[in-house]
Amino acid sequence: MTELPAGPPDARAVPRFAGPDTFARLPRLADVNSAAVAVLGVPFDSGVSYRPGARFGPASVRAGSKLLRPYHPGLGVEPWNVHQVADAGDVAVNPFDLAEAVSQVEAGARSALTAAGHLIAVGGDHTIALPLLRATAERHGPVALIHFDAHLDTWDTYFGAPYTHGTPFRRAVEEGLLALECSAHVGVRGPLYSAADLSEDRGLGFATVSTAELARRGVDEAVDRIRQRVGNRPVYVSVDIDVLDPAHAPGTGTPEPGGLTTRELQLILRGLDGVRLAGADVVEVSPPYDHAELTALAAANVVYELLGLFALADAPSPRSADGAWNQAAPGAT
């Protein structure tokens, strides 16, 4: 019989508000030496264009993760019992120098990847996606980017600055980190500077599933489109928490009304079961603007969905029938 990976303390023995302050109270990466997946904090918000505060995101998402339990009924998997999951701590990032910060995140991700098979980074503002993509593409080649965000984040510069939270994917395209024919933005909405923002983005090669389209056609069709788009490519999932409506995620830097519900985002992520997930990030949680931990809880649960997807890739089959929670009509009993 194989031993279970090191996990969190049992919340029926050690209350959730006690014990380690790591993500889901999981062990630290340094304490388990290696892990299939590690959660890496990137407390950095010097790339924001509006509200700051995402530097406090990793701490708040860890706090919001304490209520997570071992079994994910929607996916029929136990995310941290299938393989070792750990918290890799925070990257120490220069808050005054964007270019140096970007290289520090890249080095931090690379270093964590020497001990972890995959990373889920918790930001931090969206600037960090570029160095994370560099570290991921180095291992997997150009990745299919599934980018959940109210915004395109493919602007060229802000105030002449190339590294900002509105430009990471333009830089990623220029650096050849993305398989563009397999990449898509999901949840785009809100006012733009001009119609050219959309046509320029299309010109780069991205597809878009807008929030309006999602609302009209539903989660299943969005999932179908995303799955067709990514095919068999290694996938990087980048979740800007502002893809959610401000009612569901008020604690963020650039809120746009009319967004997804937390439930819609969860269902779309579950629909990615079986794609070749290479890495992921969850960014733009700004706790000073949060209320009642809404945003921190949503972000922690998004990380949990991603951990579930990684676990499914390693889980012995067949999966539990409780995966039926994911379906439209649950069993009558």
Q: Which parts of this chain interact with Mn ion (CB under 5 A)? A: 126, 149-151, 153, 240, 242
Q: How far is the CB of 241 from Mn ion (least distance, A)?
A: 8
10 Å CB burial of residue 94 (0-12, 13-18, 19+) is: middle
Q: How far is the CB of 51 from Mn ion (least distance, A)?
A: 11
Q: How far is the CB of 165 from Mn ion (least distance, A)?
A: 6
Q: How far is the CB of 153 from Mn ion (least distance, A)?
A: 4
Question: Bridge-partner residues for 246, per DSSP?
Answer: none
Q: 78 or 153: whose CB is closer to Mn ion?
A: 153
Q: 32 or 143: whose CB is closer to Mn ion?
A: 143
Question: What secondary structure, in 3-state letters, does 250-282 show?
Answer: CCECCCCCCCECHHHHHHHHHCCCCCEEEEEEE
Question: Quick one: tokens of 286?
Answer: 């700004």
| Residue whose tokens read 């990684």 | 310
Q: 36 or 152: whose CB is closer to Mn ion?
A: 152
Q: How far is the CB of 188 from Mn ion (least distance, A)?
A: 9
Contact 26, 85 (CB under 8 A): yes
Question: Quick one: tokens of 211?
Answer: 């929030």
- CA–CA distance, 321 with 73 (Å, rounded to integer): 9
AA identity, residue 308: G
Spatial CB neighbours of 203, under 8 Å, sequence gap ≥ 6:
none
Torsion of CA 117, 179, 265, 55, to 10 degrees: 60
10 Å CB burial of residue 63 (0-12, 13-18, 19+) is: middle
Q: 62 or 126: whose CB is closer to Mn ion?
A: 126
Q: How far is the CB of 89 from Mn ion (least distance, A)?
A: 24
Q: 150 or 285: whose CB is closer to Mn ion?
A: 150
| Residue whose tokens read 């990847």 | 113
Q: 83 or 151: whose CB is closer to Mn ion?
A: 151
Residue 103's region, left for phi above 0, alpha for psi from -120 to 50, else beta, is alpha
Q: How far is the CB of 264 from Mn ion (least distance, A)?
A: 16
Q: How far is the CB of 204 from Mn ion (least distance, A)?
A: 16
- CA–CA distance, 237 with 103 (Å, rounded to integer): 21
22-38 burial, b if ≥16 CB within 10 A, otherwise e? bbbbbbbbeebeebbbb
| Residue whose tokens read 């959940």 | 148
Q: Would strands 144-148 and 234-240 be described as parallel, antiparallel, or unpaired? A: parallel
Q: How far is the CB of 167 from Mn ion (least distance, A)?
A: 10
